[in-house]
Structure 1
Amino acid sequence: MTTYVHDIGGAPVIIGAGLAGLMTALHLAPEPVILLSRTPLGTDASSTLAQGGLAASLGEDDSPDLHLADTLAAGDGLCNEQMARRVVEVAPQAIQSLVRLGAPFDRALDGKLRLGLEAAHSRRRIVHAADATGHQLFHALLAVARRTRSITIMEDVTALRLVVAEGSIVGLLAVLHNSVFAMPTRRVVLATGGIGGLFRDTTNPLSSFGHGLALAACAGAELSDLEFVQFHPTALDSPRRPMPLISEMVRGEGAVLVDEHGDRFLTDTPGAELASGDVVARSIAHYLAAGHRVYLDARQCLGKKFAKRFPAIEAACRQAGIDPAVEPIPVRPAAHYHMGGVAVDADGRSSVGGLWACGEVACTGLHGANRLASNSLAEAVATSAWVAASVAGTCAGRQWPRLPATVPVRPDPSPMGQIVSNALGIVRNGKVLRETIGTLLPIAVGETAAADPALVSLLIAIAALRREESRGSHYRSDFPGRDAAALPSRLTLCTAFENAVALRWQKSERSR
């Protein structure tokens, strides 16, 4: 396969064209920027699937302090309080910026933004566009980006590797169709989204395997809190993949969780259906494991109003043969959001010079061990401005990258579904994690299409094994208690491989 060099004049490159990537590119204008998308824009981004909205303290009974308190409580002791305060304080202004860019948020009769309620929020503070906020917001921003001359959008391009020299980015390798090319640049922003595509049951696009994590890890970047994976409690239980999401807003409107007999089973749980997502997800998983079915019943609270209030969800239910106005909706948990990611500072800088991360692929410390509902889109909008300012303030420069002798193949996460779901689901166990690490290591160091997805899975499994406690979204059946002294976790590819090799050696020694 021939590799050629595509000269972009040292412009920054943003890998990923969802909400975080688009916002970063728009904030960089009028500086020229290259925006890479693996697929035609809008066809494969998690942002377009987001239903709930953005959290911001806009209500008269609300404040950034109350929003912060809810965020810290959900994060279960691992939030970076300084970063969390910074995000919640700018969230209201960020919403107004989106309105100026054409975001079609829902409004009440008095013209004010309509505010919804979601799990673990103490106030109504979710700004949304019906039940398709991500889709509406993405297309509003895309229209602006296409009109912005400084943004060059390259579709159907997959980044394969970041090229590093003396600890800093000097370029990247990418593939368009079957042509591999290098792009010399000293500034790269990862905005590649999450990891849900590694799991059998997920609400994410099936290609979302942690692509940015693999790129960052192979470049030597430090990763943080990879063990914390949020499972949305109420995905539509049907064969469709990705699984349609039944937004937390439905529970916020009063829908209740029932079993096959119509009996509620969360009445004794503090917060009941509006308890934190990890609590609700584990309760549903426990009920399903016991042989029950679980349904979300909105007949009493919404009934015939369901279709008007949640048109996209109603359409997904209808497609599955369910009328939510008169029938309960079958649900089950599904991999939804990754709190961990590339460790970044307040400006989105990674530990590798010239490499930034924004959106779900980044770990800013806002979410801690468990994301508060609708804080993710708010984070992407807020932090994209800080990332763009940092990128713009960094000297471009140019250095022709030395091309590697071998070129990685385009990744395919499909072989990971069963392995990852068994080991890294809602309930984890040390024995299974050790066995899974042994399975993943030879795949991760191989040269197949499964190598990068296996590498990301390996990194998460090692992080999960190292955290010997249960906290937030991470639950260990062999360590069900909470360790008060536990801290955010950090990991590099080097330390991950050292851990994995040591585990394989220990296993081989015991088998003798």
Structure 2
Amino acid sequence: MAHILVIGSGMAGLVAALRAARRHDVTIVTKDVLTAGSTSWAQGGIAAAVFPDDSAELHARDTLLAGAGLSDPVAVDILCTEGPGRVHDLVGLGVAFDPAPGAVAPFDDVSDWARGLEAAHSVARILHAGGDATGRVIETALAAAVREGRIRAREFARATSLNVRDGAIVGAVVESPAGVEHVDADAVIIATGGNGRLYRHTTNPPVSTGDGVLLAYAAGAVVADLEFVQFHPTVLAGGGLVSEAVRGEGATLLDADGRRFMLEIDPRAELAPRDIVARAIARQMRLQDGQPVLLDATMLGASVLAERFPTIDALVRATGVDWSTSPVPVTPAAHYAMGGALTDMDGRTTIPGLFAVGETGSTGVHGANRLASNSLLEAVVVGWRAGDAVDAAGSVPALPLPALRDASAVSTSTIQESASGAQLDTPVPLVREIAADALADGTVAWSADRIRDRAWQALGLERTGDEMADFARELADARPADDEARSLLPLARLTAAAALARTESRGAHWRDDFPETDPEQRVRRVVVRPASESPELWRSDARAEVPA
């Protein structure tokens, strides 16, 4: 029986742990309590083609179109084909999806389930649980299954580095209130979530500092797509996410004068892809001296808002606004990272014994712009497959490096795009970028807050080459001044380098100096650490996260 170490406890990590525990000894380490990650914060639902008028092919097409030409069609096909089965598996693990109006218990058939529509979906296929608490309902059910099983869950513990022997991952260094220890493992699955805390404004929880991506990078794994960060369009001006599902139910966006402005920008209006809506809001805010725009959900009425969106309803009303009678001020915020450790759909990285799942990994499913509510689906599909793949961790090879090419070797005839900007049937070439070691520090102390402020300015919704270059130069001579900056500083360096290398606008990456999409840049750029033989040069310092 092998020992599998899972780092992180979001949906993807818990699913992987439950699958691996069927045959192996499994330990989960997590920085906070078991249910503290981004999954519990997910108000939206899970997308899957479970209804008779939908299909995996249609879901795949929507996903590829949203991905702006960079989604891997093979990965997307796996996601959309296996997704419905995994949704039913979640039901078997105790997840109760919301029933349709008039449905009669026990709601065990898809015809009994409510379905919602979100941006860029061609049909209503979004399943919700607890109204607007889908992530929390799923996370609670998975955590209960973990606690009922024979999986060890170590809360308030954190992996600070990975142990490498003969080019393979053999465990990790873990810090906890009990001290520091080396935990041996036959395979390590990183599931630490995203990196939204790199930005001043984010929907992510405090634990989302990109630790998993840096653990993988420090050990020599290839990372990809870090320039693509999705910004959620509608976050309360005082903090707190307002799910896209509210717009799916009919809410509209108004300027400071009460005028609906999205109809002039995109025929899909408020249900255009998130990058379009978020940038439109940012530009409108500039026109009105930084004032937030207004989300008008008054047409839905107090009873619908309270019943369909109980979490958001309480959140909005706590700000003193009755959103059944008055529009609520909203702004964009960093929400989801499409980039991470490069993986296949089994979660395999380019290092034997190391897997990455959920927002920590970059499978190629989301391309340049994630389709709404595909993140929870990817978490369960890839988490499930990774939990199965570790059954043969000692014999399954790492994701092969020969798949990478130099940028100069990619033929432009290979990467021509359709008029819509999406390529629906051919693989996306992977090209290797040469970059300085993001873990090599300079002399000027930078705090996490300083990094966040500058990242919001230089790497936010709208980017310019000059500002990103200035930021990159500043970061080159920076060193972390506090514990959180140990992760955020190298993460900012990697993100800035990736964004500078992509001299076009595509999906969530928009540059005012290169505002058009360039068909010749239909490639996924990847980076590997130059000093990969010395993973001990970087460690994530847990002291600020672990209670005394």
- Choose from 240, 250, 253 the match for 1:254: 250
Q: Residue in 2 aligned with 1:148?
A: 149
Match of 2:510 in 1: 475
**What is the match of residue 499 of structure 1?**
none
- In structure 2, the CA distance between the partners of 1:278 and 1:295, relative to structure 1 (3 Å rule), is same
User: Partner letter of residue 34 of structure 2?
Assistant: L
The farther-off stretch of 297-306 and 184-193 is 297-306
**Alignment size in residue pairs:** 469
| Alignment match of 1:69 (pick from 37, 61, 64) | 61
Structure 2 residue matching 1:494: 3-state secondary structure? coil
Whether 2:456 is the aligned partner of 1:457: answer no
Q: Normalization by structure 1: what TM-score?
A: 0.88
Letter in 2 for 1:274: L
Residues 209 and 413, structure 1, Cα contact 8 Å, conserved in 2:
no
Distance 1:178 1:455, change over 3 A: farther
Tell me the residue number matched to 2:286: 289
Distance 2:231 2:313 in 1: 22
Alpha-carbon distance in structure 1 between the residues aligned to 2:247 and 2:341: 32
What are the equivalent positions in structure 2 for 1:33-432 lying under 5 Å apart? 33-42=26-35, 44-108=36-100, 109-110=102-103, 111=107, 112-129=112-129, 130-149=131-150, 151-177=151-177, 179-238=179-238, 243-268=239-264, 269-290=266-287, 291=289, 292-395=291-394, 413-432=448-467
Structure-2 separation of matches of 1:495 and 1:321: 53
Distance 1:330 1:323 in 2: 12
Q: 2-side partners of 1:169 and 1:446: how far apart?
A: 29
CA distance in 1, matches of 2:123, 2:512: 33
Take 2:178 and 2:491, find their aligned partners in 1: how far apart are those partners?
A: 24
Q: 2:434 is matched with which residue?
A: none
Report the counterpart of residue 429 of structure 2 in structure 1. Answer: none
Aligned AA (1:330): P
SS of residue paired to 1:485: helix
Deviation (angstroms), 1:293 = 3.2
Q: CA deviation at 1:449?
A: 5.0
After superposition, the Cα gap between the structure-2 partners of 1:412 and 1:270, relative to the gap in structure 1 and judged at 3 Å, is same
2:528 — aligned with what? 492
Of 1, 6, 19, 2:11 maps to 19
The one-letter code matched in structure 2 to 1:257 is: L
Secondary structure, counterpart of 1:300 in structure 2: helix
Q: 2: CA distance between counterparts of 1:361 and 1:216?
A: 9
Q: What is the CA-CA distance between 1:131 and the residue it aligns to?
A: 0.2
Give, in whole Å, the separation in 2 of the partners of 1:115 and 1:447.
45
Is the Cα–Cα contact under 8 Å of residues 37 and 207 in structure 2 kept in the other structure?
A: no
Are the counterparts in 2 of residues 79 and 369 from structure 1 also a CA contact under 8 Å? yes
Q: Deviations over 1:92-144 (max 9, x none)?
A: 11111001111021011234111111011010000111100001110011111
Give TM-score scaled by structure 2 length: 0.83
* 1:305 and 1:325 in contact (8 A); partners too: no
CA distance in 2, matches of 1:419, 1:386: 38
Counterpart of 1:509 in structure 2 is: none
Q: Displacement of 1:303 after TM fit?
A: 4.2
Structure 2 unaligned segments of length 5 or more: list them.
396-440, 533-548
User: Residue 95 of structure 2 aligns to which amino acid in structure 1?
Assistant: A
SS for the counterpart of 2:524 is coil
- Deviation string 1:44-66 (CA, Å, 9 cap, x unpaired) is 30000001111001222211111
Identity %, equivalent residues: 42
| CA 1:313–1:65: 2 relative to 1, 3 Å | same
Residue type of the partner of 2:350?
S
For residues 246 and 21 of structure 1, the distance between their equivalents in structure 2, rounded to whole angstroms, comes to 26
With over 3 angstroms needed to count, the CA separation of the structure-2 counterparts of 1:495 and 1:66, relative to structure 1, is farther
Aligned equivalents of 1:271 and 1:418: distance in 2?
32
* Matched AA of 2:506: R
Amino acid at match of 1:121: H
Mapped contact 1:443–1:451 kept (Cα < 8 A) = no
> 1:444, 1:61 → 2: CA distance?
55
Question: Does the 8 Å CA contact 2:4/2:25 hold for their aligned counterparts?
Answer: yes
Assess if the C-alpha contact under 8 Å between 2:343 and 2:350 holds in 1: yes
Alpha-carbon separation, structure 1, partners of 2:352 and 2:257: 58
Alignment deviations for residues 65-87 of structure 1 (CA, whole Å, 9 cap, x no partner): 11011000100000000110111
3-state secondary structure, aligned to 1:173: strand
